[in-house]
Amino acid sequence: MYIPRRIYKKIFLSAMLLPSIVVASIFLAVPAALTLAISLTGLDYRFTWTWIGLRNYERLFRDPAFQLIVRATLIYVAGTLAFNTGVGLLIALITTHIRKSLGSFIRALWLLPRVLPSVVWAVLMMWIFSPMPTGFLNTVIKSLGGAPIPWTFKYYWPFLFIVNGFIGSSLSAIIFSSAIESIPPDYIIAAKVDGASSFTIIRKIVLPMIKWHIAFFVAYNTLSLLASFEYILLTLDGGPGYYSTEVMILHAYHLAFGQYMVAMNYGYAASIVTILFIIGLILSIIYWRIFRLKRLMLEARLE
Amino acid sequence: MHLLCKAMQKKSAFLIIVALVIGVVIGYVVGWGTAPQPTIQTVTLPPTTYTVTVTERPGVTPAPTQTVTVTVTPAIGVVQPSEIVITAWTQGPERESIYRQLNLELAAEKLNTILRDLNIPLTVRIEGEFSTASWTDYRKKLYMALEAGTGPCIFLTAHIDTAVLSENNWVIPLDEYIQKYWNFTYYDVIPGLWDAVRYKGRVWGVPQDTEARPIYFNKILLKRLGWSDEEINDLPRKIRDGEFTLEDMLRVAKEAVDKGVVEPGYAIWHRPNPGPDWPIVYLAYGGKLYDDTTGKLVADMRVWRKYFEFFYKASMQNYRLISDMLTSLDWNRDIHPTIVAGKVLFWMGGTWHKGQWVSSFGLTEEQFWEMFGFALYPAGEKGLKPVTLSQPMAYFISKACPYPELAFLIVTLATDPYLNSLHAVPSAHLAILYSQLVNPLYIRDRFLKETGYMVEYAKYQPLHPKWGEYSTSIFEIVKGIETGGFRSVDEALAAFKNLLTTRLGDNVIIIE
């Protein structure tokens, strides 16, 4: 049977895209739609779908804890993003300016926290930075004659930035370093011939050439941090004080699955998640515009 | 593939696809052929009739009785050797409570012995697990399984879950079975325990154990403070008679910190996470938690004010009795080792902690009796009574269980003075049966003997589906006070009221 080439091409492309469309719908689109639907119901321990419209959102905005969790989310996302991008860039720059094998080795070492099971990493960090005199750092300080410092208790945001940052910056280090290594060496040689210092080379040549990669990473990481709560849950669990590090998604988790008697407030928790979803959507559109990611998609600018 | 010509490529592709399809068909046939066969073939035995004397008011003798004729159709009948599997999930989390699971297995063994002697070709096997995960994780797993209908036949959980389990129709009411098997063991259960599992007029669980939550005080530290041995040994009595109140406790703790006997923040310690203990001080100040007529929870703000004042005074912002880091600490890594090391003056704990300290934290029995005394929570003010809280555990039978009466029989056989003492003694839980109080295994334990009186002063948490959120809100406010999140009691009280109204809505009555 003769199928016209045009239609054949369309069928062929659809068939190739079908698996990923199916996976994306089942595991991404459908749960998102369901969460949106649940946020409009009063689903709780009774497991009955009772449509209550926007009442969950009303409750949420009137909840005195709402301001606290939004503040915590902003601090967390901004701080960890800065850490991930900054430290990743630093590692990438350093490891590409030394011998290639050594550079790869260091980047591989930096990847270790990411491949550790999250519970192991969290327990390790809690032990190192434990506020009790029995923690690792405090034992070292005590043996040097100092007083134990309540690390996770007083400096909890830097602690969280470090715990999450070691995980996130390994990815950015790899992206940025491969981007740097793909810069045509002619530019660097030309600049060196002109007498530019390393610092000037980095500022004027390397950074502008990898700006697409930085833009991509910032966009990707912001969205991923909005929904990341694993390490906060395992280490501080929203503490140490009254909602000090309770980010929005962690609060939703606690409302649905956590706390003393498993609150099971699914409808209410879903409303928080839906708000995060909308924020993520808006941010994606903004990033699309600002970073002109459309141009990124058209041509291969990201190797 | 480039080595082959176009025609051969097409043929190879065709053959690969055919092989794949045949492989899938073979796999399916093999799977169908080796699927486990059902082992029960049933045949109904004829029904039997017998008379039962039913006591109308359990626990009250002499009780009005009536004679009832009951016709019983056996739940199962078998024709060839077979095995019935009853699934059971129980929870510690401490390993010392493992007899919660083992007792069910021992009960099944009892039943199997009887069946063997009567030449009935049936064995009952208990399958399941004893969980050492946190209560939150265990409850999550349990609730999800019950909702999905894949839950275990018998499961253990705290009595407090009764409201949720019953409202969701996950468990069967056990009144009829308890009446039927009354003379086996249920006549012996201490009557107050039935209140803990009675919701909306029906009994939903069988009590498995109970405990009391005392205040442990460190005798060595008190001696260093200048107390004599007589004063130290008299403290539990003073508390029991209402002579020593919570204000006195704050005073003694403050003295200890000021004189350097304990480090600041180590005078009074409590649990670091949400749990049943949080309302105890409120009850000590005479507060009410539940309104029987409306079935709603109650929050008396006048009493909550006294409660939060207690914690505010004790926090690092004032007397420096409770460390501000306490709510960030870990039970096993930080809290138990510090108490066992003798660094804490007052510990608001539970009777089973003694069992844990001796089994898992390296404390010997002699060291325990040298270091620790224990008493009820003192009354809030003079004129009120001392209190403690008990959270009995109970066995429940799920609605999806295919053999509910058999499961209930297993639970009945597990509820016996010897088996229950096997659990109570190493895990330091209290007796649920009167016979246990004279059981040789039980009375040999000095700790259980000396804490027995606490059960009379014990209160229970109210049975209400929203209780968990109420209790968690208390914890969050105390955490906020201790970490300096609230600068005054008024601020804390306002935040507490906000949390209650947002989370519980009209399930709670707030009294100003």
Residue B58 has pLDDT above 80, yes or no: no
A-chain CB neighbours of B478 within 8 Å are none
Q: Say what percent of chain B tops pLDDT 70.
A: 90
Residue B471 lies in a domain: yes
Nearest to B430 by CA among B188, B215, B210: B210
The CATH number of the domain holding residue B182 is 3.40.190.10
Instruction: Please name the residue of chain B whose CA is at the shortest distance from the CA of residue A265.
Output: B503
Q: What is the pLDDT along chain A (303 residues), one digit of tens a residue?
A: 677 888 888 998 999 999 999 999 999 999 999 999 999 988 887 778 888 888 889 988 988 889 999 999 999 999 999 999 999 999 999 998 888 899 999 999 999 999 999 999 999 999 999 888 888 999 999 999 888 888 888 899 999 999 999 999 999 999 999 999 999 989 889 998 988 888 888 888 898 889 888 988 998 899 999 999 999 999 988 878 888 899 999 999 998 887 767 678 889 999 999 999 999 999 988 888 887 766 666 655 555
CA-based nearest distance A244→chain B, Å: 9
Instruction: State chain B's mean pLDDT as an integer.
Output: 88
Residue B272 lies in a domain: yes
The verdict on A50 touching B (C-beta cutoff 8 Å) is no
Q: Alpha-carbon torsion A138, A140, A142, A146, what sign? A: negative
CA-based nearest distance B314→chain A, Å: 16
**What per-residue confidence (pLDDT) applies to A262?**
65
Task: State whether B380 and B259 are in the same domain.
Answer: yes
Tens digit of each residue's pLDDT (9 = 90 or more) over B458-484 = 889 999 988 988 999 999 999 999 998
Place of tokens 């894949």: B150
Domain termination site, one of B459, B481, B498: B459
Neighbour tally for B117: CB within 10 Å: 8
CA-based nearest distance A44→chain B, Å: 11
Q: In total, how many domains does chain B have?
A: 2
The verdict on A59 touching B (C-beta cutoff 8 Å) is yes
Q: Which of A126, A134, A259 sits opposite B472 (nearest CB)?
A: A259
In SS3 terms, B46-89 reads as: CCEEEEEEEECCCCCCCCCEEEEEEEECCCCCECCCEEEEEEEE
Neighbour tally for A210: CB within 10 Å: 24
Instruction: Please name the residue of chain B whose CA is at the shortest distance from the CA of residue A242.
Output: B480
Residue B51 has pLDDT above 70, yes or no: no
Nearest to A161 by CA among A238, A221, A224, A84: A84
Grouping H, G, I as helix, E, B as strand and the rest as coil, residue A117 is: coil
Residue A264 lies in a domain: yes
Task: State whether B502 and B423 are in the same domain.
Answer: no
**What per-residue confidence (pLDDT) applies to B71?**
66
**What per-residue confidence (pLDDT) applies to A97?**
87
Task: State whether B289 and B229 are in the same domain.
Answer: yes
Q: Distance of CA B197 to CAs A68, B152, B388, Å?
A: 38, 19, 18
Residue B74 lies in a domain: no
Q: At what angle do helices A156-181 and A100-110 cross, to 10 degrees?
A: 150
- Quote the domain boundaries for residue B270: 215-389+466-511
Residue A5 lies in a domain: no
Task: State whether B344 and B299 are in the same domain.
Answer: yes
Domain termination site, one of B442, B459, B476: B459
H-type helices in A97-202, by residue range?
100-110, 112-115, 118-128, 136-143, 151-154, 156-181, 185-193, 198-201
CA-based nearest distance B469→chain A, Å: 6
Tens digit of each residue's pLDDT (9 = 90 or more) over B4-41 = 678 888 888 899 999 999 999 999 999 888 876 655 54
Tens digit of each residue's pLDDT (9 = 90 or more) over B202-254 = 999 999 999 999 999 999 999 999 999 999 999 999 999 999 999 999 999 99
Q: At what angle do helices A136-143 and A118-128 cross, to 10 degrees?
A: 20
Listed in sequence order, the residues at least 6 apart from B347 whose beta carbon sits closer than 8 Å to its beta carbon are: B215, B216, B217, B218, B269, B270, B339, B353
Residue B484 lies in a domain: yes
The verdict on A280 touching B (C-beta cutoff 8 Å) is no
Task: State whether B101 and B183 are in the same domain.
Answer: yes
Q: Which amino acid is at B357?
A: W
| Separation CA B204–CA B198 (nearest Å) | 6
Task: State whether B178 and B220 are in the same domain.
Answer: no
Residue B77 lies in a domain: no
Residue A178 lies in a domain: yes
Task: State whether B328 and B423 are in the same domain.
Answer: no
The verdict on A148 touching B (C-beta cutoff 8 Å) is no
HSE value, Cβ hemisphere, 13 Å, CA-based, for A37: 9
* pTM to 2 decimal places: 0.78
- Angle, alpha carbons B110-B113-B116 (nearest 5°): 150
- Quote the domain boundaries for residue A262: 64-298
Task: State whether B118 and B233 are in the same domain.
Answer: no
| Separation CA B391–CA A85 (nearest Å) | 50
The backbone torsions φ and ψ at residue B207, rounded to the nearest 5 degrees and listed phi first, read -55, 140
Interface test with A, best of B328, B331, B336 (most A CBs within 10 A): B328
Contact B485 A153 (CB under 8 A): no
Task: State whether B164 and B298 are in the same domain.
Answer: no
Domain termination site, one of B459, B476, B495: B459
Residue B73 lies in a domain: no
Place of tokens 């649920």: B432
Interface test with B, best of A56, A260, A268 (most B CBs within 10 A): A260
Q: What is the DSSP string of B306-324?
A: HHHHHHHHHSTTTT--B-T
Tens digit of each residue's pLDDT (9 = 90 or more) over B261-278 = 999 999 999 999 899 999
The verdict on B237 touching A (C-beta cutoff 8 Å) is no
Helix (H) or strand (E) holding B123: strand B122-131
The CATH number of the domain holding residue A179 is 1.10.3720.10
Contact B328 A240 (CB under 8 A): yes
Q: In total, how many domains does chain A have?
A: 1
Tokens of A43: 């689903």
In SS3 terms, B167-184 reads as: HCCCECCCHHHHHHCCCC
Residue A33 lies in a domain: no
CA-based nearest distance B68→chain A, Å: 38
Neighbour tally for B371: CB within 10 Å: 19
Residue B66 lies in a domain: no
